[in-house]
Every structure is written in C-alpha cells, then in structure tokens.
Structure 1
C-alpha cells in the first residue's frame, strides 16, 4: 500500500470523488449495476472483479461515456451527473483523465503531439501545447521518445505515454482501465512499479479497474470488489487478501473459503457444505462465520493420522492433480472439499492421483475465522 499522496509542485490537494451509480442493461439476462463508491484525494482505489461484473461500466459512467439511469456523481464540490436533477456534464467537460486498456494513442501523431493533445483540447496554441508536452516528457524522463510514433513504441512505452497524456490534462480524477492488461508478463512487473511512481505524483483520486489481484494489492490503498453489479467487499489490500468475503475473492488470494455457524461449545465451525473446522479463535460478535485456509497449510496423508497438534482431520478423495511451478495442487472432494498444495516429490511418494483416498489435516492456528458480512 502506498503512502497518502502529497501534492506535487506546491499544488493544492485534489478533490474527493463520491459516486452512486445505477445502470440497467436489458438483454437475455438483464444486468443491473448498483454501486456506491468514494475515493479520497491522493488515494488509489482498485476496482476488482471477474469479467462481466460491471467494472468497466462503472468507469465509463464516471468518465461520462455511459449515462446513469439513477444516482449521483460528485467530484469535489461539483456535481457532474445527477439524472434526477437534470445534470449531466459531457465527457469532454469533466476534469477526468482516462487511460484505456488499448491506450488509444493517435497513430499518426508523434509522442510529443499525443501528449500535447491535452493542452490543445483546452484551446492552447500548437506551440504552447508542444512546450507543455516537452515539460511533461522531461519531468518523467521520456524526452527521448518525443519524435516517435506509437507504432515505434514497445507496449510498456505506449502505456507510459498514454498515462502521461492523461496526466498532462491536469485532471481532478484519474481513471485507469486495465492499464497493464496488454503487456507481456516479462515487463508487467517493471511497468507496474513505474505506474506506482507515476500515480504517486497525482494529487487527485485514482480509480484502477483490473481483474488482476496482484495489480490491486500492489498499487491500491483500498480495494473494491464488484461481482454481478454489486460490491461484495471493500477493504484495504491486506484484509482482502487474508479475509475474503466470497469464494471469488478467496480464489484470487489462493485460499480455501468456507461459511458456517460457530459452535461455541467446542470452538468449532459447522460448515454449510458439511463438515467442521476448528479455528484458532472464534469471532465474538456473530454466529455466522467465514473461514480462510491456505492450500499450503493442509497436510496430506494416505492413512488417518494419529492425534497430534492438528485439531482438524478429515477424509477425502483426490479429484485432480495440477502442476503449479515446482508444486502440485490437489483438488480434494471432502467435507469440506479443499485445494491442497504439496511438493512434486510428495505426489510420487504418496502415489497421489485422481481417485486416491486421502486424509487431510490442518492446525487450528492455520484456520482464520472472521465475521460473515
């Protein structure tokens, strides 16, 4: 998580974003987006969710590219859209910089003129807009690319120029729609670090739409997860990673995720899908409990293990074995079912294969229990 942004060059703090967005899309299956969102000046809020969840629809609504059916969007003291009040600023009139997934650089313009377009669109002369572009390119050490065309840039370079063009508008709000999705895996890490330093210079709020949990966890101060048009969890990255509210979020973090009711008589949780698990401690405020258990914290046995430090022991059947780097992931059908990570050597030594009968065990200290939302 990055530090709270301090405005650069003596500029005043940026405005806060407050948005209530409702959009309905009719079709074979009517889709309804209903999201409340807030972002403070200098913060990075990641919008995370599966394909079709409504992430890009939300971003387009805030940018002015899609109309609200109901709701309100306010940036600082200015209401930029409110259907009930008949208010809707066009996209060009909103003080918003947008970086699209495909960057949308003008192919016939040089890098300098792409960046200069921000000033030109506000009525500046050609010469003054180019002077402004050169200052931005110099500030971010991109002067060497000034005379190139977008076709002469690598994916990472194009991403940087698209972001620089958005920043050159001097917007009040920055919207990033899957800004790293088009990059090869070999340069994503480096470009992610550069992106983090770029947005750290921005005084306003930044919304980052992504389906990649690593982008969200490394770039954002706060993560908002959207599933099927609604917010299913909103928290800091550490909480999202360790205490997922849904099975989808748990999958992003690579955790087994269970829901059940606390049985305070023996300190266990009776699980909805059958079975029970004993966590290190139970929440004191609710009987409805969520559990998270890492696949690497589960041990596999071919026979029932003796009573020991592992308070959780249960039988199951291996459904599949998948290679993950230097480890193997077992999908075990049981009560509860679980994903289990073991070494490749363990697969060979224990003769693990689809259909194998196994016993699983996990220490109570490895089972995290927290209140269900």
Structure 2
C-alpha cells in the first residue's frame, strides 16, 4: 500500500509541475500562441496517463488486493488430534476459502477478524488444501497446505488376546461351536463386532468397563463338508474424543474341518493337493496374502473403493505397504460388484456434494480420484437416478 501512496503522490507532483510550467510559459508569450498551444497538447498527452495512474493507485489504496499468509504449510496432527487447525493473516474482514484439491470434501470458509487474523478448523487428515483470500471481488494468490494423517496415539486402544499373527483362534473343545474372545481396550469404549459374510452387519456390541478389559464368545464355522474352514469377524472400537480403531479382525478355525475331508477318496485328496499347490508350494496361502485380502475386503465392501484404488492403497508406502504380489492376489480374490461400488460412490458425490454427472464421471475415472474403469463409471452414470 505504501508504494501505491508514493506513486499517487509522484503523479500529482508531476501534474503540478507541468501546470506550473504552462502558466509560466503563457505569461512569457507575446502575440505568438502557437508554441503555447503545442505545449498544452503535449502536456495533455502526458497528463492523461498520470491521471489514470492516480485513479489506479487510489483504487488499490481504497480496495486493495488481498494478501494471504499462513503460519504453516504442513499441519502435523499429534496427540489425540483427528482434525487440523490452520491460522494465518490476511486483509481485515476478508473471506478465506479452503478447497480440498481432490474435490471430495466441501469448501471450508472462514472470515478474518478486524485485524486480519483467521482460524480454520476441522481440516481433514491426509488432505491437501488450496487456500485463497477474497474481498470486494478481488482474490489473493493461492497457498497450498497439507494435513498429515491421524497419529496412532489418536486412535482408541484395542487389543485381542491369544490370536496368532494372522488373527486366528481355534474353537473351544466340545460341541458348542463357540470360541472365547477377550482383550483390552480404552476404558468405557464401545466395541462392535461385524460379520463380513452378512454384509458387515453388527452381531455383537460390547461396552468396556473402567478396567479396560472385555470378553465374549462367538460362533465358529460349521463342521459340514460344505462349510468354510474359517469364520471371520471384524472388530471396531470407539471411545469419546478418540478415532475409531477398526482394522482388527479374527478368523475362527474349525479343527474338525480336515477330519470331515478325510472321508473322501485318496483320489479326491490328491486332486485337492494339486489344486492347492498351484497357489503356493505348500498348498497354503501366504500370511501376507491373507492379510492383504482382509484389508481389500474392507476397502471394497465398506468404503466402496475401486479395484485399482484398493491396489494402490495396499501397495502404497503411505498406505498398507503390502508387496505387489500380495496386493494383486487380494484384488483378484475380492468378491464384490465393481459396477455397484462405482454407483455407490457416484450417489455419494451427487447427494453430498451436488456434483454434476460430468464431474462425477471425471472424478470416478481420475487417477487422482476413484480410479474406476470407464465402463464402471458409465454404468454408474446410467443408473445414477434409479
């Protein structure tokens, strides 16, 4: 602003000097007015841009272009923080807009106070924001700010006892087909147990007491020849002011399952062995593959992610960090309708963000968005209003 004031004063001074020179020159003339007329024309040519400069500087002084400065461009969530907070400075009473660069979340708008200070709250974790300040139709240059992921310390504490590396438990002795499950969690938290085979419906809800201990019993798989060898349950734990811990699962293994298979002929056993050997040398799926598939199932069935999106999340060093082979096995074996996943995502964009069909389709197929195939996105758009 000081430069604008200096420029305006300079322009006024030049005009004053020209006017004074014209007046002195006019008083020194005799009868020949031609040189004076010529000087007046030249002065006008010079004065017009000077007046324009005065007007522009005055406009900038009265209605300046907003500036924007932030206290940090990298917001690191620590402790129990689940949302980011950004502070900065701009023009007094200016509007500051934070826009998710991926276009998923709604804009955050905050107004600066009389001194130009502003505070933006509830910034989502693991998100980049483009920030602009605006006032009286003018906008500042944009600033990009990144928010880190939620730290482990912010999650509800949760642990399952007596499970092996892949979260497998064995049925209790006897014929009740149940298994005892226990562990620890944050005091007064709520634990929900869901069944992936029943569309992740809640089968039990536990309320942890002040000592942080919990225990329950769960049904295992059947012993019929067509029953699965393992029964999966997913756990989530939530306590007030903490993020939900929801990436724990267990597999209940039926020790009698193989005995049921013993009644088959030796030929059938040999055939089964050959089939299993095609996936691994010892006939068993590697632990990493099973863990990756478990994660992939959740991403597909709970978060409605695309096949490519799940693969990227599984292999990313900022995601799950699985090997490419484990991730490929997982996405190849997830049982989900990818067209329906694309449709569910499309409806979310339509209902929650009021996006147009064209914008939704672009978001669904973008490598920076959902990464569905073009055919899956087309299906979603065609059935968007069904």
TM-score, structure 1 as length reference: 0.23
Larger-gyration structure (1/2): 2
Question: Relative contact order, CA 8 A, sep 6+: which one is greater?
Answer: 1
TM-score, structure 2 as length reference: 0.23
Question: Whose helix proportion is higher, 1 or 2?
Answer: 2
